[in-house]
Structure 1
Amino acid sequence: MEKFKVGITGGIGSGKSTVCRLFAQWNVTIIDADAISHELTGPGGKAITVIRAAFGSQSINAEGGMDRAYMRQLAFDDAGARHQLQAIIHPLISQEMASKTASATGDYVIYDIPLLVESINKYKDFLDVICVVDCEVSEQLLRVKSRSGLSDEAIRNIIKAQASREQRLAVANEVIFNGSGVTHEQLEQRAFELHQKWLLSARKLAGAG
């Protein structure tokens, strides 16, 4: 049966994971692209053999998983290496997402995709709705600094490497604002309003199937 599919994205520190946890409590299947990526690049993961062949033994850590710090730096320094890594991992993520979608039991499916906007051509025909969790860049800096201890410069570099706030909002069908001053209750209320809307769409799709 065809499933109603929502993609949720947002910049680092936007609160995307918090929003996805809200939807998970309402019988929605959450498929986390980052978790799939970590599984594929962890010890024994399906991507490890190809990554070692492409980037050498220094790309693999002592536990047998991808050395994330090494590959993160390489990807920042070398766009060619970044594209090569993406070409290895993205098809495998797509396969796992398709498998998890086929076995999903929720009323509809939400895909938690950090780099959705950066890969928009891959997802725009697959998803029924694109939802952006939005907040000010200043708020992103505060949140990431408080939880990670990274320097302002390091956080700004991560933000700069992602799609801009404007680029995300330009492709959004729906926006959940989670910026300065938004309470958890307000965030939950906005998420529930969208849940009701998407539930209706999912039921219509199921009825037409």
Structure 2
Amino acid sequence: MFVIGLTGGIGSGKSTAGEIFAELGVDVIDTDQIARLLTQSGGAAIPAICGLFGDAYITESGALDRQKMRQLIFSDSAHRQKLERLLHPLILDEVSSHVQRSLSQYVIVVVPLLLETGDYDHLIQRVLVIDCDEQLQVTRTMARSRLSAADVKAIMATQVDRQFRLTKADDIVRNNRDFGHLRAQIVRLHHFYLTLAE
């Protein structure tokens, strides 16, 4: 199976790009969605999170308290690494099984921390980076997530440097303009990927 890893900084438009690929008939595996399933009430990661961080980080309904956990991991990188060590292998297992079951001609795996972890090197054949200006990342994320500019910049600081990300890309989509411009670039790439997957 031909697998493309799609990544980019927060607010760059990864999810929107993934939705366009899905509309074109491509199987899109979103690691953020898998993480949400693992950390919802009854999710497979909840007992281990409880054991590592305590009941204070679990809501009354039995799900991960995202806001509390976000505050903890962005104030202390050791806690962030602890959470990542717990979640990443579980997410990777899910991704691998999705890839094996896929019936589309190629697969897109959306991984925000693709270049930070190296976990997916054995699985993907190409890296697609969705890129936009850093100020646009901040503005989009604030509008979407009700986070402050300082919070968004703190998240950006935990991600790899934009220039480094671009040097690691096989393909780059620039998302500084409107949806139509983004979609046109994805459609072109889709036809290219179909030829590579044959």
Taking the aligned partners of 1:148 and 1:38, their CA distance within structure 2 comes to 16
Match in the other structure for 1:191: 186
CA distance in 2, matches of 1:146, 1:76: 20
Paired residue secondary structure (1:61): coil
Q: From 96, 106, 109, give the equivalent of 1:108.
A: 106
Which runs of 5 or more residues in structure 1 are unaligned?
204-209
Any conservation in 1 of the 2:38–2:44 contact (CA below 8 Å)? yes
- Residue 123 of structure 1 corresponds to which residue in structure 2? 120
From 58, 61, 64, the counterpart of 2:62: 64
How far apart, in 1, do the equivalents of 2:70 and 2:63 lie? 14
What is the CA distance between 1:124 and its match in structure 2? 2.3
The answer on 1:38 being equivalent to 2:36 is: yes
1:125-204 map, 5 Å: 125-179=122-176, 182-203=177-198
Aligned residues of 1:117 and 1:167 also touching (Cα < 8 A): no
After superposition, give the CA deviation of every residue in 1:46-84 in whole Å (9 maximum; x if it has no partner). 111111111111121111011111211211122222111
Amino acid at match of 1:166: Q
**2:74–2:154 contact (8 Å) kept in structure 1:** no
Q: Which runs of 5+ in 2 are unaligned?
A: none
TM-score (norm 1): 0.90
Distance (whole Å) between structure 2 residues aligned to residue 106 and residue 195 of structure 1: 12
Code of the residue aligned with 1:13 in structure 2: it is G
SS at 2:16 equivalent:
helix
